Amino acid sequence: MRRQTKEIQVGNLRIGGNNPIRIQTMANTDTNDIEASVAQAKRCLEAGTELLRYTTQGTKEAENLGKIKEILRSEGINLPLVADIHFNANVAEVAAQLVEKVRINPGNFVTGKHGDYTDEEWNDELRRIREKLHTLLSICKDKGTAIRIGVNHGSLSPRIMSRYGNTPLGLATSCMEFIEMCEQEGFTNLILSVKASNTRVMIYAVRLLVQMMDAKGKNYPLHLGVTEAGSDDEGRIKSAVGIGTLLHDGIGDTIRVSLSEAPEAEIPVARKLVDYIESHRTSYSPPALGGVPNGRGGSNTQLKTEFSKRKSIPIDKVGGDNPVVVITDTKINSTLKPDYTADEILAFNQEIAIIEDLSNLNELLSTDKPIIFKKEFALDDLETLQIHAAAFFGPMLIDGLIDGIWLSNKSDKITAEQINDIAFEILQSSRCRISKTEYTSCPSCGRTKFDLPKVVRQVKEATQGFVGLKIAVMGCIVNGPGEMADADFGYIGAGMGKVSLYKGQECVMKNIPEEEAIDKLLELINNNIHI
Least confident span in 30-44, 322-336, 491-505: 491-505
Least confident span in 85-89, 121-125, 458-462: 85-89
What digits encode the pLDDT tens for the residues 430-446? 999 988 888 877 766 66
pLDDT at residue number 121:
93
pLDDT of residue 531 exceeding 50, the answer is no
> What secondary structure, in 3-state letters, does 7-27 show?
CEEECCEEECCCCCCEEEEEC
Q: Residue 437 and residue 441: Cα distance in Å, rounded? A: 13
pLDDT of residue 202 exceeding 50, the answer is yes
Residue type at 160? I
Beta strands at 254-255 and 22-26: parallel, antiparallel or unpaired: parallel
Specify whether the CB–CB gap between 117 and 449 falls below 8 A. no
For residue 371, what is the enclosing H or E element? Answer: strand 371-377
In the chain, where the domains are located = 8-224, 325-429, 438-528
Is residue 477 very low, low, confident or very high in pLDDT (cuts 50, 70, 90)?
low
Is residue 350 very low, low, confident or very high in pLDDT (cuts 50, 70, 90)?
confident
Task: Give Rg (Cα) of the chain.
Answer: 23
pLDDT of residue 165 exceeding 80, the answer is yes
Q: Give the CATH architecture of domain 438-528.
A: 2-Layer Sandwich (3.30)
How distant, in Å, are the alpha carbons of 66, 72, 272, 280, 404 from that of 283?
Answer: 45, 42, 17, 5, 20
Percent of the chain surpassing pLDDT 90: 68
For residue 420, what is the enclosing H or E element? Answer: helix 416-429
Q: Which of 269-273, 299-303, 362-366, 478-482 has the highest mean pLDDT?
A: 269-273
Specify whether the CB–CB gap between 77 and 45 falls below 8 A. yes
Residues in the chain: 531
Q: What is the mean pLDDT of residues 405-425?
A: 97
pLDDT at residue number 484:
65
pLDDT of residue 287 exceeding 60, the answer is no
pLDDT of residue 143 exceeding 70, the answer is yes
Specify whether the CB–CB gap between 94 and 62 falls below 8 A. yes
Q: Which of 169-183, 269-283, 445-459 has the highest mean pLDDT?
A: 169-183
pLDDT of residue 495 exceeding 80, the answer is no
pLDDT at residue number 159:
94
Task: Report the mean per-residue pLDDT for the chain.
Answer: 90
Report the CATH fold assignment for 8-224.
TIM Barrel (3.20.20)
pLDDT at residue number 44:
97
